[in-house]
Structure 1
Amino acid sequence: MRAGKIALTSLLGAGLVTSAALAQQSLSGMVTKIDRLAGTISIQQSQGGTVGTTGGVIQDFKVTNGAMLEPIHAGDKVSFSTSESGGKTMIDKLEKQKP
């Protein structure tokens, strides 16, 4: 009985960790537009693979902290992580990639 409880608790804990990891995604792309007043950024996500040179879809994001937009400019390549908050995708980490 005790071993069953331990196994069940371990499985539930692993499920919670997996859910949190899936909720936060690490992505990369090129900045196409920034609205510092509204705290939003448009990013064309990088396509995986080596076939073709077309970029991914351009998506608008709201940032959790407007100060993270200061060093970023249109045309910069960035890596970022997103999370869901109230049904909206928000950027919670944004870094300019080195050339």
Structure 2
Amino acid sequence: MRAVGITLATVALFAGTLPALAAEQGTAGMVTGINRLNGTIAIKRVPNGTVGANTAGAAQEFKIKDNAMIENIHAGDRVTFSTSDAATPTIIKLDRQK
């Protein structure tokens, strides 16, 4: 009986951390558009240089956690970003590359 309780507690712990593990961390891209009124940003992912990665695909639109994050960001800037794993992809960290 005790082993079942420990197993269930462990499963619950891992299930709670899965969204954080699935979130994208440190992805690179180029800003293709910003909508400051709606708090969204469109980013085209930059290929990582592996064989066959010469096309990055279309830009994806993300919600911004805090509008202050995009104050110094402009279309054409290269950025690194991290997103939360939610129904609507939300950028939780955004850094402009120099």
Question: Normalising TM by the smaller chain, what interval?
Answer: 0.7 to 0.9
* Matches of 1:28 and 1:67, distance apart in 2: 20
1:42 matched residue in structure 2: 42
1:73 to 1:88, Cα distance in 2 relative to 1, 3 A: same
Identity of aligned residues (%): 42
On the 8 A contact 1:43/1:59 being kept in 2, the answer is: yes
Aligned-residue offset at 1:29: 0.7
Aligned-residue offset at 1:83: 2.4
1:12 matched residue in structure 2: 12
TM-score by length of 1: 0.76
The one-letter code of the counterpart of 2:24 is: Q
The one-letter code of the counterpart of 1:72 is: I
1:95 matched residue in structure 2: 95
TM-score by length of 2: 0.77
**Structure 2 residue 81 is the aligned partner of structure 1 residue 80:** yes
Structure 1 stretches of 4+ with a deviation exceeding 4 A read none
Cα displacement string for residues 55-98 of structure 1 (whole angstroms, at most 9, x for unaligned residues): 3221122212111001212221111122255x322212111123
Aligned-residue offset at 1:50: 3.2
DSSP-derived class of the 2:52 partner: coil
Structure 1 unaligned residues grouped into runs of 5+: none
Structure 2 unaligned residues grouped into runs of 5+: none
CA RMSD of the aligned region, Å? 2.1
* Matches of 1:54 and 1:14, distance apart in 2: 35
On the 8 A contact 2:20/2:85 being kept in 1, the answer is: no
Aligned-residue offset at 1:53: 3.1
